[in-house]
Amino acid sequence: VPSVIDQFSCHSAGSRLPVSCHCIEKSGMTVVQCMSRNLEKIPSDLPRDTVVLLLASNHITHIPSHAFKELHYLQEVDLSNNEIETMDVGAFQGVSDSLLVLDLSNNRIQSVPKEAFARLQAKISLSNNPWHCECTLQEVLRELRLDPETVNEVICHTAVQEEYAGKPVIQVLDSGINFCNFHHKTTDVAMFVTMFGWFTMVIAYVIYYVRHNQEDARRHLEYLKSLPSSSQISKDFDTISTVL
């Protein structure tokens, strides 16, 4: 039986709820139900004693930083079947210690910031998102407690190594593939190409400089050759003296 305090908290919070949501008591917990309500963002005016937050089947596209910071009793968040593409660093800051279940399945998430799930211990469902498998995602997943029932549905939609596209992320990582090594190799190749380009430009400039100086030297030498020699000038001077 819900306690008087729980009932009062839930009912009195009604005026603070978004008009499309409603608050119920279930096993003594405050449950806020906002499913299938055409929401485009996570409501900010939720009861502070919310324990379960149901936001599935809306049109939410982004999880901002501190989206749930006032909900210190939050244990479960269902954001499945939305249109989420991005989330900020610190999206779950403030609830990382209390949150037990997080459902982000069936969204449009391709990648997440490395610190997006910092210190989060919740069981997380990330299935049926168009993941791009690369180094950052590998490092993020290494720190998460993925839902074992849906972990095989976390698929590499695309990957830095194309042969792994279409395969379960966990299968790829368990096979010993390290996307971070590939990332470092790609970076090394890019640096080599850049350095080679600069080196080529320097060599080209040196060649141009040498050839330009050679051409100037040749023209200067031809000019000197065109001038009367000192012996010829001396002979001409003697002839003039004899005549005088």
Question: Can you spell out the DSSP letters for 136-200?
Answer: HHHHHHHT-EE-TTTGGG-BEEEESSGGGTTSBHHHHHHTT--HHHHHHHHHHHHHHHHHHHHHH
Q: What confidence score (pLDDT) does residue 201 get?
A: 75
* pLDDT, tens digit only, all 244 positions of the chain: 333 334 434 544 444 676 779 999 888 899 999 999 999 999 988 999 999 999 999 999 999 999 998 999 999 999 999 999 999 999 999 999 999 999 999 999 999 998 999 889 999 999 999 999 999 999 999 889 999 999 999 999 999 988 999 999 989 888 888 888 854 444 444 454 456 556 667 676 667 666 767 776 677 666 666 666 555 555 555 555 554 5
Q: What confidence score (pLDDT) does residue 216 get?
A: 67
Assign a CATH topology to domain 4-177: 3.80.10
**Closest of 39, 21, 40, 41 to residue 31, by C-alpha:** 21
Q: What confidence score (pLDDT) does residue 118 get?
A: 87
* Beta carbons within 10 angstroms of residue 202's beta carbon: 10
Q: What is the pTM of this model?
A: 0.70
Contacts of 28 by beta carbon, 8 Å cutoff, 6+ apart: 2, 3, 6
Q: What confidence score (pLDDT) does residue 6 get?
A: 41
Q: Which two tokens stand for residue 37?
A: 């309500």
Q: What confidence score (pLDDT) does residue 150 get?
A: 95
CB 50 within 8 A of CB 67: no
**Closest of 96, 76, 101, 71 to residue 9, by C-alpha:** 71
Residue located via tokens 């640096």: 191
Separation between Cα atoms, residue 75 and residue 203, nearest integer Å: 64
Sign of the dihedral through C-alpha 208, 209, 213, 214: negative
Q: What confidence score (pLDDT) does residue 4 get?
A: 32
